[in-house]
Chains A and B, each alone.
Chain A
Amino acid sequence: MATDAGGSAVIDKDGLDALVAVLAGRGRTVIGPIVRDGAIVLAELGSGADLPYGWGVELEAGTYRLRAREDGAAFAHSAGPQSWKTFLHPPRVREWSADRSADGDLVVTEETGTPPAYAFLGVRPCDLRAIAIQDRVLTGGRHADQGYRGRRERAFLVAVECTDPGATCFCVSMGTGPAAGPGFDLALTEVLDAGGHRFLVRAGSEEGESVLADLPRSPADPATREAAHERVAGAADRMGRSMPPVDLRTLMRETLTAGRWDDVAARCLTCGNCTMVCPTCFCTSTEDVTDLTGDHAERWRHWESCFDLDFSHLPGGSVRESPRSRYRQWATHKLGTWFDQFGSSGCVGCGRCIVWCPVGIDITEEAHALHQERESRAARPPGPESPA
């Protein structure tokens, strides 16, 4: 369990309301889970009352359903249709605009302005890791994305540990949850028992401590600590999915010619949903637009996907023409070559790609199948035509 050297306390529902109010009072736009259109989505919270009290979710591959809960829990749901990248790495961003001046010169105007100061309430441990992964991708190299950096540096993260994982969750396999890892300003664990509906709060930063000090709270008593610990430990035992217990990076490298890729390609719609709901998928493309006069131009950056034929279009055509090559690119990057590129897995086990795939393609099932295919190949005695 993460340490709580930064201080801890217990708050109740009023304390949670106060948390939203305190964060808003500090000039932050508070984003958190709300019920909308039959799902728990991320949106601006007007108050703590907007939180999805009494709502849970039932997840399966390709299926998401809201379910009312009798216990009134606020955070007994797992990953929804969006992730925090919607806010930190938005779908469409204008990068610059240019105007032709009267003397024919080109005047380029960079996008400036103060980035929004977000507070994210309800960052799941898997998503906390996903944010850290996007930090590495978008700001950890030689060419940092300054827009992302601005939004990220100003963001205040309230993690909420998982006590009720979904059937598509596999954070334990990926080592990202259900307990919160580093990176939060505050971490909450929701406890509902005879002692009442309350939240164990731990501070992970100075600002977190200062926010916590502004909340109506009571000391973190041993019973609440113990209950919080048990609920998170219990969640770890109730993961709906798991990855094969092997080195996934090696598995991807050694199964590039597997027959399983044809199998999954036959099911894949190449619609791109998995990449857009993935909290770490970061690919973008740029598009230059002009107005009717041709005197004003803008460059926009928007989310792109390895499932889009146009994304790998080079002179001569698309490099990844077949659905097989596109799904394989996505999966092997996510689970394998991400290590080579960024030093970690690109998958955090949130299960969104499984839920929001219309045909329910399950990356854990594919990994298990690839593992089995490699095992059975290894068990077969090498024939005369086997590659060395």
Chain B
Amino acid sequence: MNAEPRRRPRLAVWKFASCDGCQLTLLDCEDELLGLAEQVEIAHFLEASSASEPGPYDLSLVEGSVTTAQDVERIHHIRAVSRRLVTIGACATAGGVQALRNYADVAEFQAAVYARPDYVATLATSTPISAHVPVDFELRGCPIDRRQLLEVITAHLAGRRPAVPAHSVCFECKQRGTVCVTVAHGTPCLGPVTHAGCGAICPAYGRGCYGCFGPGDSTNFPAFVPLLRRDGMDTLDVVRVLRTFNTAAPEFDAASRKELDR
């Protein structure tokens, strides 16, 4: 069988409101980066190269949240020129820590922070990519996990579903043999309501999970929040731990609002 010359799929990496950490995770794939460049044509990745090729693209990785009117236009364009669109990280998937603005008055922030607030054109909210365009897959994490990013890309190349489970972090703690920090130490931990994917790093070092992968696919906050309180958190602590990188994830948002309404 003669192999026909294969067109390499074209990859684009985009940035919206974000810290660039998730894009850096792609550059962090040092051992795999050359192999990746052989398999895909990296057509647009400004973090790595200023040379940018026009679309269309087979796979677009989108980092960051939508915070300006230009962002809204740009994400629609990216969607139009991308066969698959995958969000990478908490900003693109849930709005990021900058979604804290959703609870506040942005004009007030602008006035307090900038000498000339009239130079700043921004939306009142920070929203995930999925609030604007259809998204094919959302990769969680702040930042994303290197192995999971490679899994998403290789799954795309092979035309298969990525092996990225949506269950709780507890699965990962138990599989790696970590002693439960809540049960054995009384440490508050968001593991039972948080999406797996990091490999349960924090509990392995005796810390509670702080939910940087956002909510898992099966959460029960009314049963869970009393645990945080038992282990020493007051209302403000509970709201703070839910309002970090995934503050605008619907489950975290609803739970934190409910706490404040108590």
Contacts and interface: CB of A to CB of B under 8 A. Distances in A.
B232 interface: no
A244 interface: no
Interface string B83-101: 0000000000000000000
Interface string A85-112: 0100001100000000001100000000
Interface string A274-307: 0011000000000111111110000000110101
Given A37-B179, A41-B177, A64-B183, A293 B166 contact: no
B121 interface: no
A277 B3 CA distance: 50
Interface string A128-156: 00000000000000000000000000000
A67 to B, nearest CB: 12
Interface residues of A, number: 47
Given A271-B192, A272-B171, A358 B179 contact: no
Given A273-B174, A292-B32, A39 B179 contact: yes
Contact of B167 (A267, A294, A310): A310
Contact of B175 (A37, A63, A91, A292): A91
Interface string B31-69: 010011011000000000000000000000000000000
Contact of B174 (A37, A276, A323): A276
B240 interface: no
Nearest to B218: A270
Contacts of B176: 91
Nearest to A286: B163
A38 interface: yes
A271 B36 CA distance: 35
B191 interface: yes
B182 A358 contact: yes
B180 A307 contact: no
Contact of B150 (A103, A267, A292): A292
A269 B224 contact: yes
Contact of A292 (B39, B168, B170): B39
A194 interface: no
A240 interface: no
B217 interface: yes
Nearest to A294: B158
A359 interface: yes
Given A266-B223, A272-B167, A288 B160 contact: yes
B223 A269 contact: yes
Given A91-B174, A323-B218, A323-B220, A273 B180 contact: yes
B110 interface: no
Contacts of B175: 91-92, 276, 302-303
Nearest to B230: A62
Nearest to A61: B183
Contacts, number: 136
Nearest to B206: A37
B35 A277 contact: no
B167 A309 contact: yes
A65 B184 contact: yes
Interface string B200-222: 00000010000000000111101
Given A41-B179, A270-B218, A309-B167, A290 B155 contact: yes
A144 B193 CA distance: 36
B170 A289 contact: no
B20 interface: no
B153 A292 contact: yes
Contacts of A272: 167-168, 170-171, 174
A269 B165 contact: no
A266 B184 contact: no
Contact of B170 (A63, A271, A291): A271
- Quick one: which of B3, B35, B171, B183 has the most chain A CB within 10 A? B183
Contacts of A103: 1
B70 to A, nearest CB: 34
Contacts of B192: 269, 271, 273, 358
A355 interface: yes
A262 interface: no
A109 to B, nearest CB: 19
Nearest to B36: A292
Contacts of B106: none
Given A268-B223, A271-B191, A308-B171, A38 B179 contact: yes
Nearest to A291: B154
A318 B220 CA distance: 18
Contacts of A268: 220, 223
A53 B197 CA distance: 37
Given A290-B155, A307-B218, A269 B193 contact: yes
A184 interface: no
Given A289-B163, A292-B39, A358-B192, A86 B177 contact: yes
B258 interface: no
Contacts of A55: none
Contacts of A270: 168, 218-220
5 contacts: A91-B175, A91-B176, A269-B224, A356-B180, A358-B182
Given A41-B179, A82-B177, A272-B170, 19 more contacts: A36-B179, A37-B206, A38-B185, A86-B177, A268-B223, A269-B192, A269-B219, A269-B223, A288-B163, A292-B35, A293-B38, A303-B174, A307-B167, A308-B165, A309-B167, A310-B167, A358-B180, A358-B183, A359-B223
Interface of B: 1, 3, 32, 35-36, 38-39, 150-151, 153-155, 157-158, 160, 163, 165-168, 170-171, 174-180, 182-186, 191-193, 206, 217-220, 222-224, 227
Interface of A: 36-39, 41, 62-66, 81-82, 86, 91-92, 103-104, 266-273, 276-277, 287-294, 302-303, 305, 307-310, 323, 355-356, 358-359
